[in-house]
């Protein structure tokens, strides 16, 4: 039963940068705004509910401090939002989310607790079994939250018709059996992030995003689209949307892809510039450079309004058209992240990442010629990888010599095809959710058909050192960004990750 003037919802963004990134979390990792929590706040407010956000990750709050903050707010419902700040990073935040949930329950306020996000949508029953939570949403959570808030106004709430809800009834785990369709009217019903509820002064851009000046604050991240039409086997980005896709009558083989209007996005960018002084922006879309009309509409709006921005976004080498490259650069999209993944076509094809070597070099070189910096992403340990193919990938990275490179190990994230295969085949998986973080002490990627996980981790960590200490790379950085950036990279490369290898 609600109390007079009680706040309706508190959204909690959990996080532990040290656990996730080790020493890199202190100064080198980004501090990202909780994009999904901000969007959920916007949606829920549009429905007439009052909302607050506690960004425990940005404020570096302990679970106990987080619980105390929520207790002071005394909401009708608390939601722990378990999303990551890169497409496949929800699971690595589950350790912090679980500790936060336990602290909230230990505070014994009686406030109902909901967990929502990519990981919990992938494993709702397991989350209910293992975590100190009253409810879990197996969808994107928007309609779950608002329907649950309505139900909690009653002295005897009925949860059986709340969409995408897992709950307990007399100790028995139940699912409502109702699915909410995906939200389609993004502009009118979820018009951007509730920036006013966030500690905007705390957010910090990725270090490479600011090469050449290294002024990483203020910073903001936002979506211009939701979802991805591609089916890369290692990605779990679509997991929270599957229930809603099914409710819309979509086939399992089809992925949803929704977009805000270019005007809505540019309006939000202008607000970030004028109200918060933001210049560094991340478009967090799984695939921003995809639909020319959408991409060019945003670029045109930025150019017309004269916004001075430093934006980075994700792209694929087969989605960037020659006709849009110069417009991207003029709009301030100065960094594009490409998932190259592997040098071997056999390895790429096995995870449904099919494009040729020639296309990779052509597209990336064309972007760089236009003044767009490139982040090249590589994955070691995909199922078909062996020592030779991983060495070929490292050699390719050195040949591309992109302005920045990310080196990952193949991880079976819950919600991905790789996770389904790993469970079916009995492949070893991390014992704790923290082990899904690429930089954690206890990280445990997948073995390949030819190599154990320990060899893949060793190769990845060596590849990082080889790349960022490469004379050709450092010379390019010196000429392009200056000696301060070279010194920064050398300092970054001096950090050696601690690993707990078998």
Complete DSSP assignment for 384-447: T--HHHHHHHHHHHHHH--SEEEEEE----TTSHHHHHHHHHT----SSGGGGSTTSTT-----
pLDDT bin (cut points 50, 70, 90) of residue 222 is: very high
Tell me which of 3.50.50.60, 3.30.565.10, 3.40.50.280, 3.30.70.3270 is the CATH number of domain 9-175.
Answer: 3.40.50.280
pLDDT score for 21? 47
| Alpha carbons 30 and 209: distance in angstroms, whole number | 10
Residue 5, pLDDT above cutoff 80: no
Residues 6+ apart with CB under 8 A from 109: 70, 71, 74
**Span 118-132, average pLDDT:** 95
**Span 429-444, average pLDDT:** 89
Tell me which of 3.80.30.20, 3.30.2350.10, 3.30.1600.10, 3.40.50.10950 is the CATH number of domain 204-224+260-410+445-493.
Answer: 3.80.30.20
**Span 356-374, average pLDDT:** 91
| Alpha carbons 328 and 305: distance in angstroms, whole number | 15
Q: What is the mean pLDDT of the chain?
A: 91
CA distances to 38, 373, 388 from 402, in Å = 33, 8, 22
pLDDT bin (cut points 50, 70, 90) of residue 17 is: low
- % residues pLDDT > 90 (the chain): 73
**Span 47-74, average pLDDT:** 95
pLDDT score for 441? 87
Q: Is 311 exposed, middle or buried (0-12, 13-18, 19+ CB in 10 A)?
A: buried
pLDDT bin (cut points 50, 70, 90) of residue 95 is: very high
pLDDT score for 345? 80
| Alpha carbons 149 and 101: distance in angstroms, whole number | 19
CATH 3.80.30.20 domain extents, the chain: 204-224+260-410+445-493
What's the sign of the alpha-carbon dihedral 269, 270, 275, 279? positive
pLDDT tens-digit readout, 192-215: 999 999 999 999 999 999 999 879
Residue 154, pLDDT above cutoff 80: yes
Residue 359, pLDDT above cutoff 90: no
Of residues 6 and 20, the one with the higher pLDDT is 6
**Span 351-379, average pLDDT:** 86
pLDDT tens-digit readout, 299-329: 999 999 999 999 999 999 889 998 899 999 9
**Span 285-312, average pLDDT:** 96
State the first-to-last Cα distance of the chain, in angstroms, to the nearest integer.
52
CATH 3.40.50.280 domain extents, the chain: 9-175
Closest CA to 44 of 268, 197, 259: 197
| Alpha carbons 429 and 20: distance in angstroms, whole number | 17
pLDDT score for 134? 97
Residue 4, pLDDT above cutoff 90: no
Residue 362, pLDDT above cutoff 50: yes
- % residues pLDDT > 70 (the chain): 94
Residue 266, pLDDT above cutoff 80: yes
Total residues belonging to the chain:
502
**Mean pLDDT lowest among 259-268, 389-398, 404-413, 437-446:** 437-446
pLDDT score for 87? 54
pLDDT score for 341? 86
| Alpha carbons 246 and 250: distance in angstroms, whole number | 5
Phi and psi at residue 319, to the nearest 5°: -115, -15
| Alpha carbons 134 and 129: distance in angstroms, whole number | 10
């Amino acid at each position: 039963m609600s109390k007079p003037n009680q706040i309706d919802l508190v959204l909690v963004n959990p996080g532990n940068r040290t656990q996730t990134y080790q020493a890199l979390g202190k100064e080198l990792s980004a501090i990202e705004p909780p994009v999904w929590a901000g969007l959920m706040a916007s949606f829920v407010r549009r429905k007439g509910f009052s909302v607050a956000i506690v960004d425990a990750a940005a404020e570096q709050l302990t679970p106990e401090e987080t619980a105390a903050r929520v207790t002071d707010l005394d909401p009708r419902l608390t939601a722990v939002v378990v999303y990551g700040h890169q497409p496949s990073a929800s699971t690595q935040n589950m350790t912090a989310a679980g500790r936060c949930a336990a602290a909230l329950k230990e505070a014994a306020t009686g406030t109902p607790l909901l967990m929502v996000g990519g990981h919990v949508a992938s494993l709702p029953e397991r989350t209910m079994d293992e975590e100190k939570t009253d409810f879990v949403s197996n969808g994107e959570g928007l309609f779950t939250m608002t329907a649950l808030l309505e139900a909690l106004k009653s002295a005897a709430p009925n949860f059986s018709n709340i969409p995408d809800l897992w709950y307990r009834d007399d100790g028995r785990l139940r699912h409502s059996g109702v699915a909410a369709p995906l939200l389609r009217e993004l502009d009118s019903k979820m018009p951007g992030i509730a920036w006013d509820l966030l500690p905007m002064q705390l957010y910090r851009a990725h270090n490479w995003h600011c090469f050449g000046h290294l002024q990483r604050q203020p910073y903001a991240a936002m979506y211009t689209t939701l979802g991805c039409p591609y089916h890369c086997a290692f990605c779990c980005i679509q997991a929270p949307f599957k229930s809603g896709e099914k409710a819309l009558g979509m086939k399992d083989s089809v992925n949803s892809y929704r977009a805000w209007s270019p005007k809505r996005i540019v309006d939000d960018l202008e607000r970030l510039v004028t109200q918060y002084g933001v210049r560094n922006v991340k478009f967090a879309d799984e695939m921003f450079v995809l639909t020319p009309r959408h991409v060019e509409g945003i670029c045109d709006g930025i150019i017309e309004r004269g916004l001075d921005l430093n934006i980075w976004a994700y792209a694929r080498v087969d989605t960037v058209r020659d006709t849009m490259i110069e417009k991207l650069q003029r709009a301030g999209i100065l960094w594009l992240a490409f998932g190259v993944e592997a040098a071997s076509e056999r390895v790429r094809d096995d995870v449904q990442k099919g494009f040729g070597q020639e296309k990779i070099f052509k597209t990336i070189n064309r972007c760089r010629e236009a003044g767009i910096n490139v982040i090249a992403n590589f994955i070691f340990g995909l199922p078909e990888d062996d020592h030779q193919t991983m060495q070929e990938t490292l050699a390719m990275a050195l040949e591309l010599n992109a302005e920045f490179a990310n080196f990952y190990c193949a991880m079976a994230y819950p919600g991905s095809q790789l996770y389904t295969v790993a469970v079916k085949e009995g492949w070893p998986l991390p014992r704790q959710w923290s082990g899904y973080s690429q930089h954690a002490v206890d990280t445990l990627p997948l073995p390949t058909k030819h190599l154990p996980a320990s060899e893949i981790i060793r190769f990845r960590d060596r590849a990082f050192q080889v790349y960022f200490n490469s004379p050709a790379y450092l010379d390019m950085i010196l000429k392009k960004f200056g000696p301060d950036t070279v010194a920064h990279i050398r300092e970054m490369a001096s950090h050696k990750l601690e690993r707990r290898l078998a």
